[in-house]
Structure 1
């Protein structure tokens, strides 16, 4: 079913659809488009395999010359050093030392064994009408702002089956919601992997706005009775990109630690964070954010390669906090009535675009094929050195990744990402469907998106996945994975399993 939809979308992207033919293109233009398409394809193959085109003929020449060398020639060349035993031992020891040094100093490979996304019970399901009714009953909003929230909900991309808890500023209720989501996700993960809690050596919990004492990581240690020498961290105030920051932190720790597991938990409770004032820039967060969370298990054990789903390949972090406009575009503050909320600036889409540009520029050389890097370099030189009036070449990241998980922050952000990266509807489908079904679950939304692709049966062995998230500060972070095996949806249970045939809507 997933492959069929992908084929349909790809047909929409090609210039030879029925819709295009209705415009009656001229025959010369049609032939030219076919030729340009095949020229670009041939160019990509040529540049990507250039090293083989150089090395293979070179090896052929060397082999030919070696075939003409006689035994007598070898005796003349190697005879004087045949009995130089000391030199032979020294050279062998030197190469063994270099090999050992490389094996000891190279970073350990980090595997994503499995992950689990929390799916709240039906009692927390909240349609748009139900959500607006709760806001009216609260008596905290005037009619003008209720109309504003209703308009935002209609345009937000959220569906009728998202999950929301009852708003409550009580600390006990906030902790109760956080524990329900965190423990629910971790319980599923431990059941999936069969890993014992005592085997976990690293714990990272991220939650941006709810930071109680004892910390949420201490809450996890206490509930699961984790070992006393565990490396535990709680990350706060980092917004929706904190999930990838947690993965990057766990990855760096695993690369220097002995054989162990790292548990990463991402969530954001709604209970204490509903804004009850009348500032429109703060009311938008009420409309977008919903309940959810995820738990991820990472490993640096070579023995886990066979059962892990993915291997972490690259992580790139970009921070634009030095710029005042970027720093203030997502800001927690008090309004005129001293009510606390998170204000979203009108500049957020532009700021996100600049952060994405910087992040992608850093990531590109690590993942793009040589053909795309060469075209980008030529474009840059033509513009900067020769001062030619040309548009900068936008690399085709679809050649570097098969799947994209872009943070479901909102409809406008996803539309901008689709345009800037020149992605198809098929590539953005997991993000848009996650926003529709679960809403913006903050740092955990990326895992609902990856779970969507798994439930559709799209993840094949060798596929490359890019996760991108934005967060307050302002930050843009990305992580690249490679699938180690085919993810069979019949054997994997996740929040989409029972209803995946209903999507895309």
Structure 2
């Protein structure tokens, strides 16, 4: 008699529900264990009755000294625990710069200007191919100085762009929150490539007449992930300055950084980077918890600068003709993947449910002790977060993270649409993405957001936020006039 074939368990058993059952059992193990114990104790107390309980209490023979000492120990322990807890950091609100229509650079305009400025036809063809595959749309914007032929990258024009994008974002934030400039205790500004004297932070202090004792910081040269570095710095300052507000500004000034040469690895930023800025108000005052949008849970920073390849993969230098620009290495995606892996290793235990941590641990042990060729287990971060904000550095960056983290198209929708509508706005792109999610009405109370940024050095930084209240769909902001058109289909190649 021929042997009966084994059933196809992948179809006969609903593995999806088996996995859900496993996750529920492991993640709620303590609850499932404590409920029977508590129920047993309650039933035993009810069975004994009040008279027997009173007699047991009297038999303990506790005097006043014992009661006072026990009370003192309990109060002391609770006080130490309360005082040693980190102060909560709330994101009260934020605002993103909305560029004017006059700054728009459609593909035809960009390539017409490029062909008139660039003398090498091969460089023009190269930029055309990059733009066709970039994932950018027709509404991205460049500062006024870059619309000149040739561009006018002067210090004055750079300051004019900085004042436009930064002051506009701060004004919108003040309008939203009712914040008085005199109530700003901490100011952190990050802009990687434009670092004038006086600094951008001093420019803001002068414009808004901030207090003379304000804690002011200006971060430069730290790349597209500097926005989360600024959040981390502000968080640390808020831990030691009770009752304070922190204003964080994230931007990149494009005007002085237009590359005029023909090196292909330096022409990429011309095609991808666009103007933008974000202003974020943080607070550690508990009374702000009622009006704040989010609470900061974790910030994890990974720096790969000790490796020479990682250090030079995003590098500012001069070409053979003396033109200054930013070179992007061919190894950039591999280095970014390695940095992301290190960052995930740190952030995973902080955010992943126990069911995912156990699966990862058992797989790791199996690879080490049993079979080194065993496929590594990739944790399901969708169980830890409802929303993902991946730095919109380019289509390849988003594609790689979607594949590595096994995310759906909806999870990376905010990143793709931000790249399409605004381009790579450097460190502020994460806030345009968060505003996209809010503008779609998807941010609910209790939702968790994972922001992931990459930057020169090479760095990968993460921030985890928890939504404190269901966010109403914004009536203003960068997406207010176009959100009804998104998401849009972005073809692999747009023929120019």
**C-alpha distance 33-461 of structure 1, shift in aligned 2 (>3 A):** farther
Partner of 1:10 in structure 2? Answer: none
Partner of 1:444 in structure 2? Answer: 428
1:480 aligned counterpart, secondary structure: strand
Partner of 1:500 in structure 2? Answer: 483
* TM superposition shift of 1:30: 8.7
2:14 aligned counterpart, secondary structure: helix
2:123 aligned counterpart, secondary structure: helix
Q: Does 1:309 align with 2:283?
A: no
* TM superposition shift of 1:68: 4.8
Partner of 1:429 in structure 2? Answer: 413
**C-alpha distance 73-480 of structure 1, shift in aligned 2 (>3 A):** closer
* TM superposition shift of 1:94: 1.9
1:240 aligned counterpart, secondary structure: coil
Partner of 2:16 in structure 1? Answer: 37
Partner of 1:323 in structure 2? Answer: 307
What is the CA–CA distance in structure 2 between the aligned matches of 1:230 and 1:464, rounded to whole Å?
A: 32
Q: Does 1:485 align with 2:452?
A: no
Q: Does 1:103 align with 2:82?
A: yes
How do 1:284-303 residues align onto structure 2 when only pairs under 5 Å count?
A: 284-303=268-287
Cα deviation digits, residues 100-142 of structure 1 (max 9, x gap): 222222111111011111011111001122112222222x441
Partner of 2:3 in structure 1? Answer: none
Once structures 1 and 2 are overlaid, which stretch shifts more, 96-105 or 319-328? 96-105
* CA contact 1:470–1:477 (8 Å) conserved in 2: yes
For residue 149 of structure 1, the aligned residue among 101, 124, 127 is 127
Partner of 1:24 in structure 2? Answer: none
Q: Does 1:382 align with 2:366?
A: yes
Partner of 1:203 in structure 2? Answer: 187
For residue 92 of structure 1, the aligned residue among 58, 65, 71 is 71
* CA contact 1:135–1:141 (8 Å) conserved in 2: no
Count of residue pairs the alignment pairs up: 476
Q: Does 1:356 align with 2:340?
A: yes
5+ residue gaps, structure 2: 1-6, 489-496
What is the CA–CA distance in structure 2 between the aligned matches of 1:73 and 1:126, rounded to whole Å?
A: 80
* TM superposition shift of 1:61: 3.0
For residue 328 of structure 2, the aligned residue among 344, 349, 356 is 344
**C-alpha distance 329-388 of structure 1, shift in aligned 2 (>3 A):** closer
Partner of 1:246 in structure 2? Answer: 230
What is the CA–CA distance in structure 1 between the aligned matches of 2:126 and 2:12, rounded to whole Å?
A: 47
What is the CA–CA distance in structure 1 between the aligned matches of 2:309 and 2:75, rounded to whole Å?
A: 54
Partner of 2:140 in structure 1? Answer: 162
> Normalised by the size of structure 1, how large is the TM-score?
0.91
1:195 aligned counterpart, secondary structure: coil
**C-alpha distance 301-141 of structure 1, shift in aligned 2 (>3 A):** farther
> Normalised by the size of structure 2, how large is the TM-score?
0.93
How do 1:451-490 residues align onto structure 2 when only pairs under 5 Å count?
A: 451-489=435-473
Partner of 2:115 in structure 1? Answer: 136
* CA contact 1:404–1:427 (8 Å) conserved in 2: yes
* CA contact 1:204–1:265 (8 Å) conserved in 2: yes
What is the CA–CA distance in structure 1 between the aligned matches of 2:162 and 2:409, rounded to whole Å?
A: 34
What is the CA–CA distance in structure 1 between the aligned matches of 2:95 and 2:111, rounded to whole Å?
A: 30
**C-alpha distance 149-305 of structure 1, shift in aligned 2 (>3 A):** same
* TM superposition shift of 1:403: 0.5
Q: Does 1:190 align with 2:191?
A: no
* CA contact 1:141–1:277 (8 Å) conserved in 2: no
Partner of 2:59 in structure 1? Answer: 79
**C-alpha distance 80-143 of structure 1, shift in aligned 2 (>3 A):** closer
For residue 270 of structure 1, the aligned residue among 248, 254, 270 is 254
* CA contact 1:453–1:459 (8 Å) conserved in 2: yes
Cα deviation digits, residues 133-180 of structure 1 (max 9, x gap): 222222x44111011011101111111110012132211111111111
* TM superposition shift of 1:387: 3.7
* TM superposition shift of 1:54: 1.1
* CA contact 1:318–1:355 (8 Å) conserved in 2: yes
What is the CA–CA distance in structure 2 between the aligned matches of 1:493 and 1:29, rounded to whole Å?
A: 54
1:272 aligned counterpart, secondary structure: helix
Partner of 1:368 in structure 2? Answer: 352
**C-alpha distance 33-232 of structure 1, shift in aligned 2 (>3 A):** farther
**C-alpha distance 397-73 of structure 1, shift in aligned 2 (>3 A):** closer
* CA contact 1:205–1:234 (8 Å) conserved in 2: yes
Partner of 2:106 in structure 1? Answer: 127
* TM superposition shift of 1:75: 3.6
1:113 aligned counterpart, secondary structure: strand
* TM superposition shift of 1:60: 2.7
Partner of 1:8 in structure 2? Answer: none
Cα deviation digits, residues 393-431 of structure 1 (max 9, x gap): 111111111100000000111100010000000011100
**C-alpha distance 141-361 of structure 1, shift in aligned 2 (>3 A):** farther
Partner of 2:494 in structure 1? Answer: none
